[in-house]
Amino acid sequence: MNKQEKIVTMFDDIAKTYDVANRVLSFGIDKSWRKEACNLTFDKYGSMKIDSILDVACGTGDMCEYWNKIASERDITIDKITGIDPSVGMLEEAKKKGLNAVFVEGQAKDLPCKENRADILSISYGLRNVVDRVEGLTEFHRVLKPGGLLVILEFTKLPKQKFSAKVRDFYMKKVLPLVGGFLSKNYNAYNYLPDSIDDFLTTENLTKELKEVGFDIEVVKGNSMDISTLFIARKI
Interval 118-171: pLDDT, tens:
999 999 999 999 999 999 999 999 999 999 999 999 988 877 777 777 877 787
CATH class assigned to 3-235: alpha beta
Model confidence, pTM: 0.91
HEC per residue, 121-183: EEEECCHHHCCCHHHHHHHHHHHEEEEEEEEEEECCECCCCCHHHHHHHHHHHHHHHHHHHHH
